[in-house]
A = this chain, B = another copy of it.
Amino acid sequence: MKNIIVGQSGGPTAVINGSLYGVVTEGLRQTDAIETVFGMINGIEGFLNDQVIDMRPLSENGELERIRTTPGAYLGSCRYKLPEDLTDAVYPQLFEKFSDRNIGCFFYIGGNDSMDTVSKLSRYAASIQSDIRFIGIPKTIDNDLVETDHTPGFGSAAKYVASTVREIAIDASVYDNKKSVTIVEIMGRHAGWLTAASVLARKFEKDNPVLIYLPEVAFDQDAFIEKVSTALETTPNLVVCISEGINDGNGTFVCEYASDVGVDNFGHKMLTGSGKYLENLVKERLGIKVRSVELNVSQRCSSACLSAADLDEAVCAGTYGVQAALLGETGKMVSFQRTNDNPYKLTYTTADVNNICNKEKGVPLSWITNDGSDISEDFIRYALPLIQGNVEVPFENGLPAFAFRR
């Protein structure tokens, strides 16, 4: 009988706690193999400072059910990178702590960087012939992990983006007798998956968002202004969606055109985003009403637009991870394989974590159309199943009731 331990790492999502729920529930269910489930507070960094809690009481007092629909990382997160050098003193230190707590399996819920942690720990374990198993549970709204059809967290973020862009388009259209441009800035520094999801807001041809720009294609300001100008002729209240990471194709982000330059009248340096920059550009070049909206952190923490499909898969990823570890797998990430689009069918498997960490998967260039300003039907077919179904979040006194550590 061994214990297992689970941690969360990197930026939070709306369903990362769903995966935590999956790991803990399945861990406690496997009573013939697992004694209890520990949680690391603030990931591997907190674990090094012995910040560990027993998850069993949360299952018994009902808090675990609430954790399932709570956004953010219940256990807290970290951005701690383990040393490349496996002979570093931190490794024996960690494994002594694993041994002290009789840990048999280690689960880390996160993105690329977190998979790097899983890779290093499993390689170190192999080097000392430790039988502790290390499994990564994928998580990121960016959807940029390789070796998996998609990642938990993306579906809910995509649903948030598409719903919100549809609402912003409605808001923009109330003065439909006056031309206007609304620029919506969406998260995604290097991969445009989430920005691409804004296309789902479109209800008919030439409906908003008419123009969509991803970081995968070089951004040309003059071509952009021309597209905006043309689009305004048929869509007087134009909505344009852009990734925060749009760039000139040579490594310079559009937002960098604006940063490090503005200084307010108290001498404070003003920083700004790509959306704000383009707002000013359109205003100056076309002289019409422009506003920009940065969707910001709600993309990764809104519980109002949870996708039932996404939450369900996040939970299953945790469950499947525990089962894979008990079957002896290590150095693996839980991976989604889509076996059919319509009806959508998904199977769970594992992939070598060493092929995943520190890599990023962008939107296929063939899915980006109209000189880099639109998204193809292929993407829509790919993304639609991931945003299906709504989740009933518990409410108290008019507001969503979330789990939190005291």
* Chain A residues close to B by CB (< 8 Å): 8, 11-12, 42, 45-46, 70-73, 76-79, 159, 162-164, 166-168, 170-171, 173-177, 200-201, 203, 257-258, 261-266, 268-272, 276-277, 280-281, 283-284, 291, 293-294, 296-298, 300-305, 307, 384, 387-390, 395, 397-400, 402, 404
Contacts and interface: CB of A to CB of B under 8 A. Distances in A.
Contacts of A404: 170, 173, 203
A383 to B, nearest CB: 9
Q: Tell me the number of copies of this protein.
A: 2
Contact of A70 (B72, B170, B262): B170
A166 B399 contact: yes
A184 to B, nearest CB: 10
A296 B185 CA distance: 12
B402 A166 contact: yes
A271 B294 CA distance: 14
Contact of A79 (B72, B175, B277, B283): B175
25 contacts: A42-B177, A45-B177, A159-B398, A166-B399, A166-B402, A167-B302, A168-B297, A170-B404, A200-B399, A201-B399, A257-B264, A258-B264, A258-B270, A266-B281, A268-B277, A272-B272, A291-B297, A293-B297, A293-B298, A294-B294, A302-B304, A304-B304, A384-B397, A388-B398, A389-B398
A384 B398 contact: yes
A200 B397 CA distance: 9
B297 A12 contact: no
A376 to B, nearest CB: 17
Contact of A304 (B71, B264, B276, B305): B305
B264 A398 contact: no
Given A72-B173, A162-B399, A302-B164, A269 B280 contact: yes
A281 B266 CA distance: 9
B297 A171 contact: yes
Contacts of A397: 384, 388
A295 B55 CA distance: 35
Contact of A307 (B42, B284, B304, B398): B398
A12 B174 contact: yes
Given A387-B399, A390-B395, 12 more contacts: A8-B174, A46-B177, A76-B174, A76-B175, A77-B175, A78-B177, A163-B304, A163-B400, A166-B402, A167-B297, A261-B270, A389-B398
A112 to B, nearest CB: 17
B270 A276 contact: yes
A253 B384 CA distance: 44
B71 A167 contact: yes
A326 B294 CA distance: 46
**Which interface residue of A159, A262, A263 has the most chain B CB atoms within 10 A?**
A262
**Which interface residue of A201, A265, A389 has the most chain B CB atoms within 10 A?**
A265
Contacts of A263: 261-262
Contacts of A307: 398
A305 B305 CA distance: 10
